[in-house]
Structure 1
Amino acid sequence: MKERKIIQVDEKVPLGLLVPLSLQHMFAMFGASVLVPFVLGINPAIVLFMNGLGTLLFIFLTKGKAPAYLGSSFAFLGPAAIVIDKMGYEYAQGGFVVVGLVGCVLAFVVYKFGTAWIDVVLPAAAMGPVVALIGLELAGTAASTAGLIVGEGEAIDTKNVIVFVVTLGVAVFGSVLFRKFLAVIPILIAVVAGYVAAIACGLVDFSAVAAAPLFALPKFQMAKFDLDAILIILPVILVITSEHIGHQVVTSKIVGRDLLKDPGLHRSLLGDNLSTAISGLIGSVPTTTYGENIGVMAVTKVYSVRVIAGAAILSLCASFIGKLSMLIQTIPGPVIGGISFLLYGMIGASGIRILVDAKVDYAKSQNLILTSVIFVVGLSGIAISLGNVELKGMVLSSVVGMVLSLIFHFLDKAKLTNDYEE
């Protein structure tokens, strides 16, 4: 097992290898996942609990064939903040529940009508750049988290730069130079190295860990429902569906299996959205498949669902151990940013890989136009508001790509495009 370069989705992993691989996945998702509850003003322990439970539910519903870790979704932040400000967090929870249930209905529709429509609305020339944008539009977030982007007149802290360089350097060169056992845990080693560097630079404060109780229950609270709150949050279903399809496509390319067909997009949609509904019901934040963990798989070539399940169990345990939960929260931004810098780039490269593998012919005008327009829309900063939901970046570019692809499809059927010109 240690000598092999790839550990496939359904392969068993020895316990001695399973624990560090699972820790690696939990650390990869942690920084982004706990940021959402901080922004919304709730305790992150309930989020760690639901991330673990939601991931296990997803694995069960996808029959252990789709390696994906469910973390906190950023797509809901805008409309949720409006509802929280007007009515309180419990009513935002009600909106999360309804969005999740609508997503479950969508999963049933996909089950009845299949996924052939995806190749029509998002052909390779469109899907490639959309997937690439999942990682590329987050590049600024990674740099900001690392403390490398500061306000006008402010200076970048040298300590942040040192920790960032140590973390990223170990992740990059470890991925290239490590062998055997170390070759599959370069991200975990990079996190540890960055954390040690952060302690040496005085960026870690252990006072909150000392004050935290050894064991603590996550704070559960039931959702409340209001029609106005639901209508404010409901349009997010467009965002999370586009994001989910993109994540499943890029994961399929990484693991070398078509996850849209087996276990099926309907199963992964059901797992993702049912987890969101349960999260909202008990007081957590909506969940989504996480790009950071997709990046870990791309770097390590370890795709085993058992590793993802191990990370989910660790997250569940951490939610009940007060000191452990608080210790994980002491991981500073430069460490998380350094890891994310590499992982987001790997997702972007996976989008380019879709174009290469599909052998997209850019001598055809429509392929060139699709890729060009999608990249420009996604990276330009253009935003369109639908009520209280803002479409921008990858989501807006995927909508634009779908519209253009459908138009080109019908023009092709009528043989009106100049690609048919002799």
Structure 2
Amino acid sequence: MKKNQVNLGVREVPNLPKWIALSLQHLFAMFGATILVPFLTGLSPAVALVSSGVGTLAYLAITKGRIPAYLGSSFAFIPPIIAADQAAGVPGIMLGSFMAGLVYGGVSMLIKLFGTKWIMKILPPVVVGPVIIVIGLGLASTAVDMAMNDSEGNYSLSYMSIAAVTLALTIIASLFFKGFMNIIPVLFGITGGYLFALTQGVVDTSGIQAEWNEITSATGVWSFLGSVFQLPDFTLPFRDFSPGSVPIAEIALIMVPIAFVTIAEHIGDQMVLSKVVGQNFLDKPGLHRSIAGDGLATMIASFLGGPPNTTYGENIGVLAITKVFSVFVIGGAAVTAIFFGFIGIVTEVIGAVPSAVMGGVSILLFGIIASSGLRMLIDNNIDLGDKRNLIISSVILVIGVGGAKLQFDGFAVSSMALATLVGVFLNLVLPGKESAYGNGNMFKTEDQTQAEKSDDSAA
């Protein structure tokens, strides 16, 4: 990357007006997706905003302020969150998130000691790609149900029309808008769908009206501040539940396997980010620091009641478009997200979004997740004509999408976790492992890359 293409370097501080504007841009880019995850899983959107902001600040600290990445709610964890909720409620979700964060920490230490070769052997594209497809397709029925059924579970043409309008607006913004509007299609679609839903009479605005009445009727500065700012509904582990009340083994089998998949996604994000910024973040400050920061953000979320966090592609897109790479801008977005989480009327506005609106945008987002898994296979030139690759990917897809699970006395292994574990096992035991990496570069081991360089030199 040429120097004159960079508008603001990683360690540069913008002036205050520009700082605020650029940080708000990142906030808008991540906002729609970050609140969608808690909306789908029954967690608090306000807590998700706060935990994403705090998690991002922790990530920036762990990475020594060298990687301009924003962390928001992870879509990959939606199915295991739902499964953990069914098994043990919110305490189970938080314990599972904490254990997933510990996995990140353990992987970080192993990478620091032994490099990346071992994790690439466990998670080649032929395993990670189909698992990501399973994550997207496994959520398809959830998106469609939200789009076409009312709050009582009955088919509603009105809800279907709201979902269709939301989906159409999101697609239009993504394909035809330019500049800033092009990087916030999810937020644009949700806002437009929300406004259309108001015309259909399906939005309950009583909570918003109550908050507004409280604000406008406040007398005095302290009364006004007290009516505007409210403490989010945090779930604090040592206050709200005891670890002994949660089936630890079952929650671990539900949540932990997905952590390995999101770690593979994280590595891919870091490679893309390195290309966008023009610096090798895997080398300095190091992949081990980046993964540790991601894990710490997820553990922080588990102590507040928020969903697991992950680095956001939406914000990487903002970096690519604006060429503004300042970590101070990212930090500003994080602080603003925390601030929004404490504003009561913002929470009420988010909570009033009809399920049809979220269903409409989810049709696209969950499909994109599945397609990104397919893209991983394509980008790495995975040959599905190879019987080994065909067997591994086929078994993962059917187990994951089909809903197969293992049940024992006291706990169960969810279909997604089972698909991941079976895929890893098949890849480790079946002969011909070299075909699992294809001809792409993203997930090749150090030995493979070095061997290819040697072959090229010999040629």
Q: Which interval holds the TM-score relative to the shorter structure?
A: 0.7 to 0.9
Q: Which residue of 2 aligns with 1:419?
A: none
1:180 aligns with 2:179: yes
Give distance in 2, aligned partners of 1:188 and 1:289.
19
Counterpart code for 1:19: L
Listed one character per residue, the Cα deviations across residues 131-174 of structure 1 (whole Å, up to 9, x for unaligned) are 222322222222223245999xx652122112111111111122
Listed one character per residue, the Cα deviations across residues 199-240 of structure 1 (whole Å, up to 9, x for unaligned) are 111122221022233211235545165456373444455234
DSSP 3-state at the match of 2:403: coil
Pick one of 326, 334, 349 that aligns with 2:371. Answer: 349
Q: CA deviation at 1:175?
A: 1.8
Q: How does 1:27-66 map to 2 (within 5 A)?
A: 27-38=32-43, 45-62=46-63, 63-65=65-67
Give distance in 2, aligned partners of 1:218 and 1:105.
31
1:388 aligns with 2:411: yes
Q: CA deviation at 1:269?
A: 3.6
- Greater shift after overlay, 181-190 or 300-309? 300-309
CA contact (8 A) 2:130 2:396 kept: yes
Alignment RMSD: 3.9
Pick one of 336, 339, 344 that aligns with 1:322. Answer: 344
Give distance in 2, aligned partners of 1:328 and 1:346.
23
Q: How does 1:341-380 map to 2 (within 5 A)?
A: 341-380=363-402
Give distance in 2, aligned partners of 1:222 and 1:316.
20
Counterpart code for 1:26: F
The two structures have a TM-score, normalised by structure 1, of 0.77
Q: How does 1:253-268 map to 2 (within 5 A)?
A: 255=273, 257=275, 264-268=286-290
The two structures have a TM-score, normalised by structure 2, of 0.71
Counterpart code for 2:183: V
Q: CA deviation at 1:409?
A: 4.7
Q: CA deviation at 1:48?
A: 3.1
Give distance in 1, aligned partners of 2:209 and 2:156.
27
Give distance in 2, aligned partners of 1:267 and 1:27.
27
Q: How does 1:123-272 map to 2 (within 5 A)?
A: 123-148=124-149, 155-212=154-211, 213-219=227-233, 221=236, 223=238, 225-227=242-244, 229=246, 231-232=248-249, 233-236=251-254, 238-249=256-267, 251=269, 255=273, 257=275, 264-272=286-294
User: Identity over aligned residues, as a percent?
Assistant: 28
Q: Which residue of 1 aligns with 2:335?
A: 313
Q: CA deviation at 1:407?
A: 1.0
Give distance in 1, aligned partners of 2:368 and 2:434.
34
Give distance in 1, aligned partners of 2:186 and 2:99.
36
Q: CA deviation at 1:389?
A: 4.5
Q: CA deviation at 1:26?
A: 0.9
- Greater shift after overlay, 128-137 or 298-307? 298-307
1:404 aligns with 2:426: yes
Give distance in 2, aligned partners of 1:134 and 1:246.
14
Higher helix proportion (structure 1 or 2): 2
Give distance in 1, aligned partners of 2:103 and 2:131.
24
Distance 1:321 1:301, change over 3 A: same
Distance 1:230 1:70, change over 3 A: farther
Give distance in 2, aligned partners of 1:11 and 1:172.
35
Q: CA deviation at 1:310?
A: 5.2
Q: How does 1:49-88 map to 2 (within 5 A)?
A: 49-62=50-63, 63-65=65-67, 67-71=69-73, 73-74=77-78, 75-79=80-84, 82-83=87-88
CA contact (8 A) 2:52 2:309 kept: no
Counterpart code for 1:231: I
Distance 1:99 1:367, change over 3 A: closer
DSSP 3-state at the match of 1:146: helix
Q: CA deviation at 1:116?
A: 1.1
Counterpart code for 1:208: G
Distance 1:345 1:286, change over 3 A: closer
Distance 1:178 1:80, change over 3 A: closer
Counterpart code for 1:238: V
- Greater shift after overlay, 189-198 or 61-70? 61-70
DSSP 3-state at the match of 2:367: helix
Give distance in 2, aligned partners of 1:131 and 1:92.
21
Q: CA deviation at 1:388?
A: 2.6
Counterpart code for 1:333: S
Give distance in 2, aligned partners of 1:95 and 1:176.
37
Query: Any gaps of 5 or more consecutive residues in structure 2?
Result: 1-5, 212-226, 436-459
Distance 1:142 1:64, change over 3 A: farther
Give distance in 2, aligned partners of 1:322 and 1:129.
41
DSSP 3-state at the match of 1:70: strand
Counterpart code for 1:124: P
CA contact (8 A) 2:183 2:317 kept: no
What is the count of residue pairs matched by the alignment? 395
Q: CA deviation at 1:298?
A: 7.0
Give distance in 1, aligned partners of 2:318 and 2:162.
21
DSSP 3-state at the match of 1:361: coil
